[in-house]
Chains A and B, each alone.
Chain A
Amino acid sequence: MKQTVEELAERYRDNLFAVAFHVCKNAADADDIVQETFLQYYVAKKEFDSEAHIRAWLIRVAVNKAKNVNRSFWRQHKVPLEEYMESLVFETQKEETLFETVMKLPQKYRIIIHLYYYEDYSVREIGEILSLKESNVKVRLSRGRKLLKEALKEDWDDDE
Chain B
Amino acid sequence: MTNKERYKKAFQTLHASEQISLEGKIMEERKKIYRMKKVAAACAAVAIVFGSMTVAYAADIGGIQQKITAWFHGEQTQMDITDNGNGSYTYTFTDKNGKEQSQTGGGVEIDDNGNERRLSAEDLLDSVSNCVQADEDGTIWLYFYDKKVNVTDLFDEDGICKIALEHEGEIYYFKIQESPESAITGSYGYERSPEAPQDVENYPLVK
Residues of A within 8 A of B (CB): 4-6, 9, 13-14, 16-18, 21, 27, 29-32, 34-40, 42-46, 57, 60-65, 68-69, 72-76, 88-91, 94-96, 98-99, 102, 113-114, 117-118, 120, 155-157, 159
Residues of chain A within 8 A (CB-CB) of B34 are 39, 43
Contact B48–A73 (Cβ < 8 Å): yes
Residues of B within 8 A of A (CB): 2-4, 6-11, 13-17, 19-24, 27, 30-31, 34, 44, 48, 108, 110, 112-116, 181, 183-185, 187
Residues of chain A within 8 A (CB-CB) of B24 are 4-6
Residues of chain A within 8 A (CB-CB) of B30 are 39, 42
Residues of chain A within 8 A (CB-CB) of B187 are 74
Residues of chain B within 8 A (CB-CB) of A17 are 14-16
Contact A74–B113 (Cβ < 8 Å): no
List the count of A-B residue pairs having beta carbons below 8 Å apart.
127
On whether A13 and B27 interact (CB within 8 A), knowing A6-B22, A157-B2, the answer reads no
Residues of chain A within 8 A (CB-CB) of B11 are 18, 99, 102, 114, 118
- Please indicate which of the listed interface residues B16, B19, B24, B187 has the most CB atoms of chain A within 10 Å of its own CB: B16
Known: A35-B21, A69-B183, A76-B183. 17 other contacts (CB 8 A): A5-B22, A18-B11, A27-B17, A31-B19, A31-B20, A34-B16, A39-B30, A42-B31, A43-B112, A45-B112, A62-B114, A74-B185, A75-B183, A91-B9, A118-B8, A118-B11, A157-B3
Nearest B residue to A5, CB-CB: B22
Residues of chain B within 8 A (CB-CB) of A13 are 16, 20, 22
Nearest B residue to A29, CB-CB: B183
Nearest A residue to B30, CB-CB: A39
Q: How far is the CA of A18 from the CA of B7 in the complex (A)?
A: 12
Residues of chain B within 8 A (CB-CB) of A5 are 22, 24, 27
Residues of chain A within 8 A (CB-CB) of B15 are 14, 17
Residues of chain B within 8 A (CB-CB) of A99 are 10-11, 13
Q: How far is the CA of A98 from the CA of B8 in the complex (A)?
A: 10
Contact B114–A40 (Cβ < 8 Å): yes
Q: How far is the CA of A89 from the CA of B27 in the complex (A)?
A: 31
Partner of B112, one of A18, A38, A46: A46
Partner of A98, one of B7, B22, B116, B184: B7
Contact A156–B10 (Cβ < 8 Å): no
**Minimum distance in angstroms from A118 CB to a CB of chain B:** 6
Contact A96–B112 (Cβ < 8 Å): no
Q: How far is the CA of A73 from the CA of B51 in the complex (A)?
A: 13
Contact B113–A34 (Cβ < 8 Å): no
Nearest B residue to A12, CB-CB: B16
Nearest A residue to B22, CB-CB: A9
Q: How far is the CA of A91 from the CA of B5 in the complex (A)?
A: 14
Residues of chain A within 8 A (CB-CB) of B16 are 13-14, 16-17, 30-31, 34
Contact B21–A117 (Cβ < 8 Å): no
**Minimum distance in angstroms from B107 CB to a CB of chain A:** 12
Q: How far is the CA of A96 from the CA of B6 in the complex (A)?
A: 11
Q: How far is the CA of A44 from the CA of B110 in the complex (A)?
A: 12
Residues of chain B within 8 A (CB-CB) of A40 are 112, 114
Q: How far is the CA of A52 from the CA of B49 in the complex (A)?
A: 41
Contact A76–B185 (Cβ < 8 Å): yes
What are 29 A-B contacts defined by CB distance under 8 Å?
A13-B20, A14-B16, A32-B183, A34-B16, A37-B114, A43-B31, A43-B112, A45-B112, A57-B113, A60-B113, A62-B114, A64-B115, A64-B116, A68-B114, A68-B116, A74-B183, A74-B185, A74-B187, A90-B10, A95-B10, A96-B10, A98-B7, A98-B10, A99-B13, A102-B7, A118-B11, A156-B3, A156-B6, A157-B3
